[in-house]
Amino acid sequence: MHETLVRRMILWTFALTCLVILVAMFDPGFLASFAGLMVIPVSTSDRIEVLVTAGAPFAQSVQTDLYFLSTDSSFTKVAGFTDMPHCVDAYRGELFVTFRQSSRDAGGTSSIFKDGKWARSVPAPSGFDIVDVVSFGDTMYALGMGADNKRIELCALGESGWQRVPEAYDAGKEITYAGSVAVRGGIDILYATGKKGRFGTIDLDSIRWYHVLFDGKKWGAEEALDIPKGEVPRVSSYEGDLALLLLSTVEGEPVQLATVKQGELDVIAHIPTTDKGLIVRSWLVGLDGDEHVFLVGLGKLWDVPLANLVPGEARLLHEVPRGAVMRSSIYSTLAGFGAVLLVSLGIAWLVMRLRGLRRKGGA
């Protein structure tokens, strides 16, 4: 085989491999199959409203579908739009959705949906990047992080729009926001500290968990949480108190529901995840006096009813279409084959190049 031909094959293989990767990154089915769907369920009293989003990282738009899970167990799609939700909560019995700003990972303009239909918009607060929204009492609060990531700031939604809450919470150290939930006494906020890795994520061996309560007027004291290593907590509310859904980083391990009292965790339920693959997110949502645990896997969404802390049979509510899964497998196979071929051709070209240099040296 001639050296020039090998070089051409390397260039063509590289170009085609890059093309396959580019097409995959613009395919929302590929993202949903391998990175998991973005799912946010919220109880609006008489039903659970579930937002399901699938999108590609480089595409300019995503597809978000709104479903209703009713008390009769029906799961129905009622609306769809091409925006990325950033955070969601129920506000006076209606769905409050804050959409992600395209320029950065923060929330901006919000919309209120009534019975699955757009009702009105709420402009973003000036100079405030929303990381989450939580409704407590009759007031909707927006949470944001200070510029140094040591402070948690709040805005309250009033008749004239968002207004800053004067007192911010100063943790006294750099923190990473991990979630918040309305409980009986206020808004409970979970955050973490630890050494940051190369990509800005906290090293799991050094991570420490804390939570703090805002009662609508003032902040409480920070309380440390003893989260077992290898478990990722998701904030929830159970019977009006703070609870955590503990997700294992090991595939097949059950999701644990634990209540929190004075920093101590009491595991009160185990939700099986056998044959569901890796669970990347979980939610605990109440409906008509019953609890539902939503499990989000790679491209799939299950609903597990929780009666008297005993999990019922999991019901598959949503999954990525089979065509998207097949395309994802094709992308992965072609990209993998291209990478192997590039290495093989590269070695062959190097050997041929060295032989050519030796012949020239010998001459």
Cβ atoms of 85 and 38 closer than 8 Å: yes
Tell me if residue 11 falls in helix, strand or coil: helix
Cβ atoms of 41 and 52 closer than 8 Å: no
Q: What is the mean pLDDT of residues 47-72?
A: 82
Work out the widest C-alpha separation in the chain, in whole angstroms.
Answer: 89
| DSSP-assigned letter for residue 297 | -
Backbone angles phi, psi at 195, to 5 degrees: -70, 135
Is residue 350 pLDDT above 90, yes or no?
no
Give the pLDDT score at 34.
55
Cβ atoms of 231 and 245 closer than 8 Å: no
Mean pLDDT of the chain: 86
Binning pLDDT at 50, 70 and 90, where does residue 13 land? confident
Looking at the DSSP bridge assignments, the partners of residue 224 are 210
Structure tokens at 124: 């973003």
CA distance 148 to 170: 10
CA distance 275 to 71: 27
Structure tokens at 49: 């409203």
Q: Who has greater pLDDT, 258 or 84?
A: 258
Q: Who has greater pLDDT, 257 or 82?
A: 257
Give the pLDDT score at 119.
93
Binning pLDDT at 50, 70 and 90, where does residue 15 land? confident
CA distance 73 to 76: 10
Structure tokens at 330: 């094709």
First-to-final CA distance of the chain: 22
Q: Starting from the edge strand earliest in sequence, which strands make up the sheet with 85-91, in order?
A: 85-91, 94-100, 107-114, 117-122
CA distance 139 to 116: 21
Cβ atoms of 5 and 323 closer than 8 Å: no
Cβ atoms of 257 and 269 closer than 8 Å: yes
For residue 123, how many other CB atoms are within 10 A of its CB? Answer: 10
Provide the H-helix boundaries in the chain. Answer: 3-25, 28-35, 322-362
Listed residue (24, 22, 21) closest to 327, CA to CA: 24
Binning pLDDT at 50, 70 and 90, where does residue 199 land? low
- Could you give the dihedral angle defined by the CA atoms of residues 81, 82, 84 and 87, in that order, rounded to the nearest 10 degrees? -10
| DSSP-assigned letter for residue 82 | S
Listed residue (207, 142, 215, 199) closest to 174, CA to CA: 207
* pTM exceeding the 0.85 threshold for the entire prediction: no
**pLDDT tens digit sequence for 118-165:** 999 999 988 899 999 999 988 999 999 988 889 999 999 988 899 999
Q: Give residue for tokens 């206020």.
A: 186
